[in-house]
Structure 1
Amino acid sequence: MPKYLILLLLFPLFSFSQTLTGTVKDSLGNPLQNANVIAKPLVEKQGLKFAIADHLGRYKLELEKDVPYEVRVSYLGFVEEILNLPANFSQKEHHFKLKENGQELKEITITYDYKPVVVKKDTLIYDVKAFANGNERKLKEQLEKLPGVEVDKNGGVTVQGKKVTKFLVENKSFFGGGTKLGVENIPADAVDKVEVIDNFNEVGFLKQVSDSEDLAMNIKLKEDKKKFIFGDVDAGAEVADNNGFYLGHAALFYYATKTNVSFIGDLNNIGKRTFSFQDMMRFQGGASSFISGRKQLTDLYSFASDNTDVIENKSQFSALNFRQEINSKLDVEGFAIFSKLFTSTLTESNIEYLQNTTATSEERINKGENKSILGIGNVKLNYTPNTKEKWFYNGQFQSSANDMTSVLNSRLDGQQTSFETLNSADNVQIKQFLEWHKQVNSKHTTTLVINQSYDNQKPINTWLTDTEFLTGLIPLENDSFYNIQQVKKVKNSSVDALFKHYWIINNYNHLYTNVGNNLGTTQLQITEKQYLTDGTINDFATDGFGNDMDYLLNDLYLGLEYKFKIGKWVNKPAIYAHYYHLKTQQIAADYTLNNTFLQPSWLSEYEFNQSENLKFNYRLVNEYPEANRLLERYTLQSYNSVFRGNALLRNERFHNATLNYSKTSMYRGIMLFANASFTKKVRTIRNEIGLDGINQFTTPTITDNPETTYRVYGNIDKKIHKFRLGLNANLSWFNYVQTVNNQTIINDRNNQSIGIKLRTANKKWPSASVSYNKTFSQFSGLTNSKLTSDRFGFDLDIDFWKHFNFKTDYEVTFNENSNNIATDFRIANAYLSYQKKNNPFRFELSAQNYLNNGTKINNSFSDFMISSSTTYTLPRIVMLTISYKL
């Protein structure tokens, strides 16, 4: 690192500041939690200082020397108090005593020029201009300057340690409610205020009974942007080499009183994704939050998150979000998304297959190409006939197509085999739900929800090779070239309904009644055939392959939840009676299973104060196998794997308990979160595996062998002077029984990860951080294996020479496997940008992977194999990007 940069980072350690502490109480000595304490500098070019009193009324202000301040304290229903501090004051503490003003105020507003914060019971409203300097380009840069607000590199936002789960613009959901698209695309100069709403509920009268844990962020636009077209356009091209890398991006917004339209478009081949995994999960949703538990039927992961672990990547993305107010009672909103991806990958692997007495080693080189197209259309109707009734309708259509080609070269015992695999899959999904909420009176509220979904998939898999494979497991006929084709036809349909009644007996006792039914069906057909070079067809159906199944699972349930409060302690025990009906129809026979279960749960929460709580949750769950695990005939899975289901499988049963503790103290500068969970399966479905060299035969069985999982996670973040120190730990222990080649073995799979991070916490300083993470993994079963990983990271974000900004990040990872073989890889990126204030043009020179590291190394293990893989990545990319702000 350059010497001047080290001095720049260390200089603030020797800078001078002074701290004022104290309390805010009423005239009787009672602490006033969440009181605003704001220090306004009485000289120009100095920043505002801000603090919020904790549950004991304590506050702490870190003030600059040589600067006089006017400190104002405000609280709902109390007269504001002012303290004037001269420059270089010697006073270390001051205790405020506020007098009641005899008026019921709806909110607290700071009345001088700066209006940084408005505080309500569960809402913080930041006035952005009080904290930003005007050089910010995107909303993300503004949020990073708000006290208590953090934005991670993936676009996730936390406020005072709690993650934002709903993102709104002008009180309306923005592209499904994820944060990444909003914070990375909304121009900074359009933002007026940022509202943070805890315990957010879209239906206001449900807030008292719904136990919402959502934290919403609502972006209020400036008046001149509420009926205006704004946004920006980026264009970039490679300037150092001749690899043809490019980038195009547009974010355009039109906001009017009754009409909002937003468009985001992106075109690049540098591995950049426009929306995150969390956004993708929202887009894949289309179901009511009141009914959950349905497994997603399609995997859209490839469309989300940056991916540079490829040798070629082309991405096209466009998204349109709209809202139209039809009248005072009806809103229509929705979004449309189109994404097209092409990726090319290259991976080299060494795999050791573990058997009872021997081990088999395989070397692989796998080169693949994948083309994926995704289209999603979503529309939502929001109807409010009166203040005590709410209707929602949401309809979503989703279509995707995937075509993948891979060539695998496998070397085993000195013999090399080449496999070409062709995979294509077309998928269509239709999802919709209807919600009705009615507040009958102050004590009785009802909710009715109906979910419906339909999914139609047709994957086709083809294996091509000149070498006989899976000998003894599939009925191949001798040929000079082998062409095996598998066709699947899968139709899934579900209808879920819930009626819920909320009875508020009094302020300390609630009774909730639930009646519902979940119906799911699957129609599944699988054929496998060998196409011989002489034109004949070898149908595997005559040898036990090919499946034809109708599957139905119905869950009828009745539940009672009793919520009571004793002081600060809230409990909600519940008991649900479930009647399960499972029916399968296959070629050999039909199978029917009926079960009635009582499934208890208990939620308990103790709130020490508004910033500290302890929560415990327990539940007993019965889970039934999906259709593919019940297939009675053989199915080809890959070039070295065959699967056969078990039509007699029953439900798994497990106990799950979690304990969460969280504490946030702005006075002490601490954010603490800890979680402990325990899961024990008392009835388990686990695959039995037969290995012959690299060939695998797998079939599931139901057993009473217990499986236990323990997990402990903790994260603490502490402000020390003008830095933040973060520590985290993630520990897990998994114990289970596995059968391999008819030998039953007790397996232990354990992981431990610890990390430390130090970063600057002064808005005036460059943003910089250093981090270290250590990971250990152990496996005990057929063999004993262990892996270790050390990861060091550094990043810097600095403004200089008034119009320039420089960002860089560096990460190095060291891996070591069971054979004490060490590998390492390094990734580094840098960005230099220039933009004059109020100038629409911005210029950026970027260097992605500037160390030109071409590979990543990864070690892993499973129940019966240990592998080490080398993944080839995109090379160094040096680009010049020009941006224009509308």
Structure 2
Amino acid sequence: MNKFIYLLLFFSFFSFSQTKSLVGVVSDDSNKPLESANVIAKPLQEKASLKFAIADNKGRYRLELDKAVKYEITVSYIGFVEEVFILDADAVVTSHDFKLKPTGEQLKEIVIKHEFKPIVIKKDTMTFDVKSFANGNERKMKEILEKLPGVEVDKNGGVTVQGKKVTKMLVEGKSFFGGGSKLAVENIPADALDKIEVIDHFNEVGFMKQVSDSDELAMNVKLKADKKKFVFGDVEAGAEVGNADNGFYLGHAALFYYSPKSNVSFIGDLNNIGKRTFTFDDLMRFGGGMSTFLSGRKSLTNLYSFANDNQDVVQNTSQFGAFNFSHDTSSKLSISGFSIFSKVLTASQTQTNNEYLQNTAFAFEDRAQNGDSRSVLGIGNIKLDYSPSAKEKWYYNGQYQSTTNAISNTINSITSLNSSVFETISKADNTAIKQYIEWHKNYNLKHTTTLVINQAYDYNTPQTNWFTDQPFLAGLIPLQDDSSYRIEQIKKVKNNSVDALFKHYWIIDNFNHLYTNVGNNYGASRFETSEKQILTNGTINDFALNGFGNAIKYKLNDAYVGLEYKFRIGKWTNKPGLYLHWYHLITEQKAGNQSLSKTLFQPQWNSDYEFNKSETLNFSYKLENSFPQATQLADQFTLQNYNLVYKGNALLQNERYHNTSLRYSKMNLYRGVTWNAMASFNQKVKTIRNEIQLDGINQFNTPILSDNPETNYNVSGAFTKKIYRFNLRFNTNLSWFNYFQTINTIETSNNRNNQRMGVVLKTAYKKWPGFSVGYTKGFSQFSGITRSNFQTDAIASDFDISIAKFWTYKISYENLKNTNNNNQSNFYDIANTSLRYQKKNSPFGFELTANNLFNNKVKNDYSFSDYLISERTTFVLPRVFLFSVSYKL
């Protein structure tokens, strides 16, 4: 560690001694600061790099220049004549102010000498020029994004810019595989990128931009000129070396064709090393099939098994293929679509020590679990984009989705009373059809209209069989004595919904807008369950005779009208709104029919204050209502697990809750500082929460509606500072959650709090090796029936270096330590490394990769809930040495 500190000090001293700073102010001829002016320092000698800066809200700029280098410094700003300053190599000047003159109306032509601007900031758009941040060793888009100021990419491919998540990914202005980020950042070649645009308040319809108040953040990838009508991409194949008995392999292809009118993309992946090609967020986007103007509709489709990398298994085989296309048939009509196929086979093994918390006694369970799963997914999606004129836009989107999940689990449960072995075999088939149509019409400068109709249908038929060697859930399920026990469960879940919205935008003037909303959301569900015991002699014990077996028809209609008034006072924009909802809920089931009608007001308020182009403050508030789903209202018993029975509550009504958030963002390139902070508050005034009955490890849950408030506070933030050639980042996330929980008829007030604080230091100079090291400290506290405290210490580090031009070496390391309430600790560390060889102009690349370098067999962690404390050991994939060959088109 001491050597590492000395190395950092050496780097810092070296960079300081080899650079000089030039500061100043950019203003107009009346001394008014010109915010976001571009300052470009072009070296007038070879082997020196271009430098740049952007003026802050006070017009200040700072350039970090190499010593002994002569520069031509150019300042540009829209509407002003450029000014050039020559800084000699031996100059002792440390400051220089620029005063720009307006171009004037009589000037017909402006000659821009320097089109290259590393970062250009407009009101809602920030554009990065890739070549000023890349060093040429990057293979994929992800490695480029990680070097852009204020941009972060997490391990699942999610992208954030200044703390805000990118929700739409575009390539050349067109949606890339439904707009998900992971497929783009991990597959688009780095050498195809020209510019990266970040667009806040994004809207696909140009004339809707000023009225839609979209909160979407889009990232648009602009390709190099030679890639805009060209086939590019790469293919890769790898096999295990050193211990071929395991049979690990990897095959991957990412192929792209782009032209002005058509583009086609294909991504294929086949591996058994736990690598998934896309995330759950991407799947939700692919499987959403809903207009962005309509939100809040819940989907019962379960796609978790297809998402995220999963090396916490003993076996994992993933097969994936995705095809995306877009074609402009004419200047008015564009057709786009995608299809996805995924097949995932996994085998898992865990050991868990559970402590069940009860009011009078505790129960302990040692559980060993082995599981196998097979999940198959197919999605087809097509979208039509029709523009009959510049003031009218039509969209149609249709999607078909089919999934199959087959799971087999064996659980060995040992308690102080007995030992049981449970085998569970389940299969679920799901079919979904989703479609929507959108119409947008701009009549004139003052009036615009939107109409959206959304329809969705899905049908899910899960079947589960439980096998065990002795009776279980005594007193909760009506078992008959037998030599062995088999329980068969069949569920049928059918959902159909139609949502419609008509919205009119009236721009009264530049400072006042009035928006009118009329809509209706209709949802119908049918939920059926059946549980039976199949005895060894062939007879059937139907649980329906003892309160099991649900058959519920559910209809919920929500008709509403709303008025939103948007007004601006200087830099302050507000949009209060008031909605009136008429809810009507009808349920039909065995125990009788229920009907519920409510008329509810739902106010909301959004407020934005723009201090300057780089500093904003946003506040939002909304009062919302949420009605229970069919599964919560089904009032017959349902077997959920080997130790859990659930029963719904037909008398449930709506939850009512307040949502408030405050977000602050600031980026100051003059000081090299980025601030992001967010605080949120959620309070439920009417709460649906499960009432729990515990008997040993056996549980019986039923939902109840109470007036007990639930409050959830969350504060998160990040601060980044550039220090010479380094970026230093501090981040934190604090949450407090208070609620009431009833266990064995006794109600307790529970508090679940979490704190996480971290620091990351990484190099920010493209001529240096890439290096980052971070430390995160986490605390978790729970108080209720008992008090529990957990701590985590996490260290993460990455390093990459170019060797002799053609070699690239990378290594990543993670270490996680968990400490429980009794000060007992467990930990695991994971290291992955690779060595790659590729000549600059050669299409072939060769790479040797080592995953789980230390050959760790298990991961350990602690967790807790309202009534359960668990210590879990998860068996993971062994060390893998993989040799792969790639070919770049």
One-letter identity of the residue aligned with 1:328: S
Secondary structure, aligned partner of 1:32: coil
Residue 102 (structure 2) aligns with: 100
Gap runs ≥5 in structure 1: none
One-letter identity of the residue aligned with 2:175: S
- C-alpha change, 1:24 and 1:308, in structure 2 (3 Å) is same
Secondary structure, aligned partner of 1:794: strand
Following TM superposition, by how much is the alpha carbon of 1:153 offset from its aligned partner in structure 2, in angstroms? Answer: 3.8
Residues 76 and 107 in structure 1, CA contact (< 8 A), matched pair in contact too: no
Residues 857 and 868 in structure 1, CA contact (< 8 A), matched pair in contact too: yes
Taking the aligned partners of 1:713 and 1:722, their CA distance within structure 2 comes to 27
Which of 601, 608, 624 aligns to 1:605? It is: 608
Residue 868 (structure 2) aligns with: 865
Secondary structure, aligned partner of 1:714: strand
Taking the aligned partners of 1:399 and 1:295, their CA distance within structure 2 comes to 18
Secondary structure, aligned partner of 1:209: helix
- C-alpha change, 1:264 and 1:701, in structure 2 (3 Å) is same
Which of 40, 43, 46 aligns to 1:44? It is: 46
One-letter identity of the residue aligned with 2:25: T
Residue 745 (structure 1) aligns with: 748
One-letter identity of the residue aligned with 2:203: N
One-letter identity of the residue aligned with 2:295: S
Following TM superposition, by how much is the alpha carbon of 1:536 offset from its aligned partner in structure 2, in angstroms? Answer: 0.4
> Percent identity over the alignment?
61
One-letter identity of the residue aligned with 1:839: S
Taking the aligned partners of 1:3 and 1:257, their CA distance within structure 2 comes to 54
Taking the aligned partners of 1:107 and 1:845, their CA distance within structure 2 comes to 56
Residues 410 and 422 in structure 2, CA contact (< 8 A), matched pair in contact too: yes
Residues 135 and 766 in structure 2, CA contact (< 8 A), matched pair in contact too: no
Which stretch shifts more, 615-624 or 150-159? 150-159
Following TM superposition, by how much is the alpha carbon of 1:429 offset from its aligned partner in structure 2, in angstroms? Answer: 0.7
Cα deviation 1:399-428 (Å, max 9, x = unaligned): 100000000000011632100001110001
Taking the aligned partners of 1:216 and 1:44, their CA distance within structure 2 comes to 37
Residue 778 (structure 1) aligns with: 781
Secondary structure, aligned partner of 1:289: coil
Which of 714, 725, 729 aligns to 2:732? It is: 729
Cα deviation 1:96-144 (Å, max 9, x = unaligned): 1000111599999852485656665544444444554444433333444
- C-alpha change, 1:859 and 1:559, in structure 2 (3 Å) is same
Alignment of 1:195-594 (within 5 A): 195-242=197-244, 243-413=246-416, 415-594=418-597
Residues 40 and 117 in structure 2, CA contact (< 8 A), matched pair in contact too: no
Taking the aligned partners of 1:33 and 1:104, their CA distance within structure 2 comes to 25
- C-alpha change, 1:163 and 1:121, in structure 2 (3 Å) is same
- C-alpha change, 1:563 and 1:366, in structure 2 (3 Å) is same
Following TM superposition, by how much is the alpha carbon of 1:758 offset from its aligned partner in structure 2, in angstroms? Answer: 1.1
Secondary structure, aligned partner of 1:274: coil
Taking the aligned partners of 2:84 and 2:474, their CA distance within structure 1 comes to 86
Following TM superposition, by how much is the alpha carbon of 1:152 offset from its aligned partner in structure 2, in angstroms? Answer: 4.1
Residues 107 and 118 in structure 1, CA contact (< 8 A), matched pair in contact too: no
Following TM superposition, by how much is the alpha carbon of 1:732 offset from its aligned partner in structure 2, in angstroms? Answer: 1.1
Residues 845 and 880 in structure 1, CA contact (< 8 A), matched pair in contact too: yes
Residue 72 (structure 1) aligns with: 74
Residues 807 and 831 in structure 1, CA contact (< 8 A), matched pair in contact too: yes
Which stretch shifts more, 18-27 or 104-113? 104-113
One-letter identity of the residue aligned with 1:653: R
Secondary structure, aligned partner of 2:212: coil
Taking the aligned partners of 1:188 and 1:868, their CA distance within structure 2 comes to 42
Cα deviation 1:60-92 (Å, max 9, x = unaligned): 111111211111111101111111111243211
One-letter identity of the residue aligned with 2:184: G
Taking the aligned partners of 1:163 and 1:169, their CA distance within structure 2 comes to 17
Residues 815 and 858 in structure 1, CA contact (< 8 A), matched pair in contact too: yes
Cα deviation 1:510-529 (Å, max 9, x = unaligned): 11000000001101110000
Which of 173, 179, 194 aligns to 2:175? It is: 173
One-letter identity of the residue aligned with 2:437: L
Taking the aligned partners of 1:346 and 1:108, their CA distance within structure 2 comes to 68
Residues 767 and 798 in structure 1, CA contact (< 8 A), matched pair in contact too: yes
Residues 77 and 105 in structure 1, CA contact (< 8 A), matched pair in contact too: no
Taking the aligned partners of 2:353 and 2:171, their CA distance within structure 1 comes to 50
TM value normalised by structure 1:
0.97
Cα deviation 1:767-825 (Å, max 9, x = unaligned): 11111111111111111111111111211121121111111111111111122221111
Taking the aligned partners of 2:736 and 2:129, their CA distance within structure 1 comes to 46
Residues 346 and 367 in structure 1, CA contact (< 8 A), matched pair in contact too: yes
- C-alpha change, 1:368 and 1:109, in structure 2 (3 Å) is farther
One-letter identity of the residue aligned with 1:597: L
Secondary structure, aligned partner of 1:260: strand
Secondary structure, aligned partner of 2:49: coil
Cα deviation 1:411-450 (Å, max 9, x = unaligned): 0116321000011100011111100000011001000001
Taking the aligned partners of 1:148 and 1:351, their CA distance within structure 2 comes to 42
Residues 135 and 767 in structure 2, CA contact (< 8 A), matched pair in contact too: no
Gap runs ≥5 in structure 2: none
Say yes or no: does 1:881 pair with 2:889: no
Residues 782 and 789 in structure 2, CA contact (< 8 A), matched pair in contact too: yes
- C-alpha change, 1:537 and 1:163, in structure 2 (3 Å) is closer
Residues 114 and 130 in structure 1, CA contact (< 8 A), matched pair in contact too: no
- C-alpha change, 1:106 and 1:53, in structure 2 (3 Å) is farther
Taking the aligned partners of 2:753 and 2:151, their CA distance within structure 1 comes to 34
Taking the aligned partners of 2:520 and 2:106, their CA distance within structure 1 comes to 47
Taking the aligned partners of 1:754 and 1:118, their CA distance within structure 2 comes to 32
Taking the aligned partners of 2:81 and 2:339, their CA distance within structure 1 comes to 51
Residue 186 (structure 1) aligns with: 188
- C-alpha change, 1:606 and 1:129, in structure 2 (3 Å) is closer
Residues 134 and 766 in structure 2, CA contact (< 8 A), matched pair in contact too: no
Residue 687 (structure 1) aligns with: 690
CA RMSD of aligned residues (A): 2.0
Taking the aligned partners of 1:661 and 1:148, their CA distance within structure 2 comes to 14
Residues 139 and 185 in structure 1, CA contact (< 8 A), matched pair in contact too: yes
Which stretch shifts more, 834-843 or 613-622? 613-622
Cα deviation 1:136-180 (Å, max 9, x = unaligned): 433333444555554444333444555433222222111111222
Alignment of 1:664-679 (within 5 A): 664-679=667-682
Which stretch shifts more, 272-281 or 766-775? 272-281
Cα deviation 1:230-250 (Å, max 9, x = unaligned): 211100111121211100000
Cα deviation 1:505-563 (Å, max 9, x = unaligned): 11111110000000011011100000000010000000110010000111000000011
Residues 849 and 877 in structure 1, CA contact (< 8 A), matched pair in contact too: yes
- C-alpha change, 1:663 and 1:676, in structure 2 (3 Å) is same
Secondary structure, aligned partner of 1:564: strand
Residue 626 (structure 2) aligns with: 623
Residues 77 and 104 in structure 1, CA contact (< 8 A), matched pair in contact too: no
TM value normalised by structure 2:
0.97
Taking the aligned partners of 1:650 and 1:259, their CA distance within structure 2 comes to 51
Following TM superposition, by how much is the alpha carbon of 1:695 offset from its aligned partner in structure 2, in angstroms? Answer: 0.6
One-letter identity of the residue aligned with 2:462: P
Secondary structure, aligned partner of 1:279: helix
Residues 162 and 665 in structure 2, CA contact (< 8 A), matched pair in contact too: no
Kindly tell me the number of residue pairs found equivalent between the two proteins: 886
Residues 110 and 118 in structure 1, CA contact (< 8 A), matched pair in contact too: no
One-letter identity of the residue aligned with 2:397: N
Taking the aligned partners of 1:143 and 1:753, their CA distance within structure 2 comes to 25
Taking the aligned partners of 1:719 and 1:132, their CA distance within structure 2 comes to 18
One-letter identity of the residue aligned with 2:888: K
Secondary structure, aligned partner of 1:206: helix
Which of 72, 82, 85 aligns to 1:83? It is: 85
Cα deviation 1:736-763 (Å, max 9, x = unaligned): 1111111111111111111111111112
Following TM superposition, by how much is the alpha carbon of 1:302 offset from its aligned partner in structure 2, in angstroms? Answer: 2.2
Secondary structure, aligned partner of 1:141: helix
Which stretch shifts more, 143-152 or 347-356? 143-152
Secondary structure, aligned partner of 2:31: coil
Say yes or no: does 1:660 pair with 2:637: no
